[in-house]
């Protein structure tokens, strides 16, 4: 995967139990496929191989090869999990975007005032947010059509219609 762009598909969370399993926050529309037994995921260090994955309520519990106890699982906390961009499936809905397609887009208001670049995408339980650098500070922008009416990946821009007070301290 060294010659291919890498995409984040999840982040390791806290340990689950005492046998090395961890909670994984998936950033993919098909976590059952991405975290199936035998799948090898790249990390910033050594790759991790999924031994098992199961759902515990609405949380994904993954056992990685070599993580056999709670201490090993705890050392994995915060690790981002990647796949090659060439492995990403096409999106079916034109209003769906991969995070990596959004990061780096130039943000401006509906009246054309430049705001700054999109720095990140935050997936919160209730909503997704764009992290936009505005006047040197990162601001969270709700990623909903009413606030972000235009996303032009090919054109490298996103248009924001900020409600009053969105960028105020």
CATH 2.40.30.60 location in the chain: 6-87
The predicted-structure confidence for 29-83, as pLDDT tens digits, reads as follows 789 999 999 999 999 999 999 999 999 999 999 999 999 999 999 999 999 999 8
Give the strand order in the sheet containing 59-64: 40-41, 48-56, 59-64, 22-26, 6-15, 80-84
Domain 99-160 has CATH 2.30.30.240: yes
The predicted pLDDT at position 5 comes to 78
Report whether pLDDT(134) > 50. Answer: yes
Class assignment of domain 6-87? mainly beta
The predicted pLDDT at position 99 comes to 82
Binning the chain into helix, strand and coil, the percentages to the nearest 5 are 10, 45, 45
Higher pLDDT, 24 or 7: 24
Report whether pLDDT(3) > 60. Answer: no
Q: Which pTM was predicted? A: 0.58
The predicted-structure confidence for 77-129, as pLDDT tens digits, reads as follows 999 999 887 777 777 777 888 887 899 999 999 999 999 999 999 988 888 99
The predicted-structure confidence for 10-20, as pLDDT tens digits, reads as follows 999 999 999 99
CATH 2.30.30.240 location in the chain: 99-160
> Rounded distance, CA 62 to CA 50, Å?
7
Phi, psi of 9 (to 5 degrees): -115, -5
> Rounded distance, CA 61 to CA 16, Å?
7
């Amino acid at each position: 995967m060294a010659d291919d762009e890498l995409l984040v598909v999840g982040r390791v969370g806290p340990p689950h139990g005492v046998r090395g399993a961890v909670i994984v926050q998936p950033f993919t529309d098909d976590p059952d496929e991405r975290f199936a037994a035998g799948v090898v995921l790249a990390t910033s260090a050594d790759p991790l191989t999924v031994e098992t994955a199961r759902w515990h309520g609405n949380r994904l519990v993954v056992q990685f090869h070599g993580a056999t106890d709670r201490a090993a699982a705890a050392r994995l906390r915060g690790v981002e999990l990647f796949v090659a961009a060439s492995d990403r499936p096409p999106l079916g809905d034109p209003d769906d975007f991969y995070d990596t397609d959004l990061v780096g887009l130039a943000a401006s208001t509906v009246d054309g005032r430049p705001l700054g670049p999109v720095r990140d995408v935050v997936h919160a339980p209730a909503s997704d947010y764009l992290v936009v650098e505005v006047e040197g500070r990162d601001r969270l922008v709700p990623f909903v059509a009413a606030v972000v009416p235009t996303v032009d990946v090919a054109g490298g821009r996103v248009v924001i219609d900020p409600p009053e007070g969105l960028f105020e301290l």
